[in-house]
Amino acid sequence: MTLSQQRPHDRHDWWRGATLYQIYPRSFLDANGDGIGDLAGITEKLDHVASLGVDAIWLSPFFSSPMKDFGYDVADYCDVDPMFGSLDDFRVLVDRAHDLGLRVIIDQVLSHSSDAHPWFQESRQDRTNPRADWYVWADPRPDGTPPNNWMAAFGGRAWTFDARRRQYYLHNFLSSQPDLDFHHPEVQQAQLDNLRFWLELGVDGFRFDVVNYYFHDPALTDNPPMPRERVQPGNPQSYQFQRHNIEQPENLAYLERIRALLDEYPGATSVGEIAGNDQLPTMAAYTQGDKRLHMAYTFDLLDSTGDAGELHAVLARFAELGEDAWPCWALSNHDVERSATSWGEERALLALTVLCSLRGSLCLYQGEELGLPEAELAYEDLRDPFGINLWPEVKGRDGCRTPMVWEDAPNGGFCPDGATPWLPVDPRHRPLAVARQEADPGSLLSRVRRLLKLRADSDILRQGKQQLLAPAELPADVFGVVRRSGGQHLLCLAHLGRGGAAAARVRLDALVPAADGWSSLALPGMAAPQLEGRELGLEPGQAAWLAIT
């Protein structure tokens, strides 16, 4: 049963304002010495995760898979791949997490399977078998070319010809990841049954991979070209606007079926990944009300470099879409450059301080609490098909997926010294290892723990309303929000200037004219702000949270 079912007094909306911690199983801890992380390794290190004060873990895929896309190509939705362990190992993990007060959210890759999945193996045999229409099949054009112009995320056409059926099948990703046809009622039900299987095992919710990809336009209309200024020359898919291969109206109705299932398990939650060309409106639509997803995230903040104006633009656009939608903000995950690199290594704590000030739920990625920068890898070390196919214009995702560092040892304590990790440990990561930082009360790890506790203990930060402060109201390079709950107000400011940026002077009475007074909260790792009357001084790289009376 879910943790909320075990503890009936727990709030079923625990997810609102919660902090999640993403674990990439291949890279967390190798417990059996084969160079690949596993479920037993995760269980062994759950005490570290619990010590951060987070509310839940999100596990990236560990299901049976040929691993051509490292688990995002599922061959059996209801079993554990032997490289990660067994279902019994998973049950032990869930029990241990629940004992520590951690909820367990697992990935679900519903839109596509592996071509090794028995469903696809049957579907491709002929056009009359019971699962013939479970995947998206289409006849060639008269000249033998694919049925339309849709492009795949990892390069090339989104269609592959199958000689047995004499048809093309759709794959929005690798050719080994055929897309299921959600217009078929049996496909919808099969995936609901898959979700129920894991809920019965006690998971507390799901992270849904590319949740806006479930349905396609059955007319197979060509996608229009993307405006040239938005094209990424090294990525062929970016040359077209994905209007017809994803985000169809039927998706909303299916999300409501998923939510109805989750509602049968008190406290079970959902977080959706929104990819595509116009992500924020989709995130708002998919989380509005209480019949769709609980929360969702986009790549808008994940692609952030910590520019104050850009941050404001993303959050202002989302705010325009309504208070009803609920975001799950993150700066790092398994698909993007680590925030310690995109924001700057010296600003790793500043980045998380800004993140903790925002309205919504949060997600941290393993190693973010250590300030791990993006790993540098040679081409011959790459394992990610995205990077291999599009190198050197696109380096892929291996740089953020290298092993977690637990000790300052050759393999970072991830696996025994005699083993070869599946991706090399970046030597720059070793001095940032957990064991090294545990011994230092001034380390980033220690400060992140205090920062997360500060947020966890604050009703204003977890669930309060948010007023964005426009750039015109603030000095250059300063980002700010006012958080409100009841009669309480909290002003959160951060100077995001780089290099030789000048110190900023902020007129507080101009931001909150009705305020009678201010008191500064002690932020971990931040110097106390200079308060002179109703003026605040901020140095570049400094943040301040002020309680307003």
Q: Is the pLDDT of residue 9 over 80?
A: no
DSSP string, 17-44: T-EEEEE-GGGT--SSSSSS--HHHHHH
Over the stretch 463-477, which tens digit does the pLDDT of each residue have?
999 999 999 999 999
| CA 510/CA 374 separation, integer angstroms | 40
Whether residue 8 is preceded by a cis peptide bond, meaning omega within 30 degrees of 0, is: no
Residue 57: Cβ-neighbour burial (10 angstroms; 0-12, 13-18, 19+) = buried
Q: Is the pLDDT of residue 155 over 90?
A: no
Q: For residue 220, what are its two tokens?
A: 């197979």
- Three-state SS string over 453-490 comes to HHHHCCHHHHHCEEEECCHHHCCCCEEEEEEEECCEEE
Q: Is the pLDDT of residue 302 over 90?
A: yes
> Is residue 440 among the annotated active site residues?
no
- Report CA 208 to chain centroid distance, whole Å: 10
Q: What is the pLDDT of residue 384?
A: 87
Of 38, 69, 204, 209, which one is the catalytic site residue?
Answer: 209
The answer to whether 168 touches 159, Cβ cutoff 8 Å, is yes
Lowest mean per-residue pLDDT among 180-184, 386-390, 419-423, 481-485: 386-390
Q: What is the pLDDT of residue 1?
A: 80
Over the stretch 90-143, which tens digit does the pLDDT of each residue have?
999 999 999 999 999 999 999 999 999 999 999 999 999 999 999 999 999 999
The answer to whether 156 touches 236, Cβ cutoff 8 Å, is yes
Q: Is the pLDDT of residue 10 over 90?
A: no
Arithmetic mean of pLDDT over the chain: 95
Q: What element of type H or E holds 541?
A: none
Size of the chain, expressed as the number of residues it contains: 549
> Is residue 89 among the annotated active site residues?
no
**Radius of gyration over every alpha carbon of the chain, rounded to an integer in angstroms:** 24
| CA 22/CA 16 separation, integer angstroms | 17
Q: For residues 63 and 396, which has the higher predicted lDDT (pLDDT)?
A: 63
pLDDT band at 533 (very low <50, low <70, confident <90, very high): confident
Bridge partners, 481 (sequence order): 468, 492
Q: What is the pLDDT of residue 234?
A: 84
Q: For residue 46, what are its two tokens?
A: 């759950």
Of 264, 380, 417, 516, which one is the catalytic site residue?
Answer: 264
Over the stretch 327-372, which tens digit does the pLDDT of each residue have?
999 999 999 999 999 999 999 999 999 999 999 999 999 999 999 9
| CA 294/CA 271 separation, integer angstroms | 6
pTM for the predicted model, two decimal places: 0.96
Residue 90: Cβ-neighbour burial (10 angstroms; 0-12, 13-18, 19+) = buried
Q: What torsion, rounded to 10 degrees, do the Cα atoms 429, 432, 433, 435 define?
A: 160
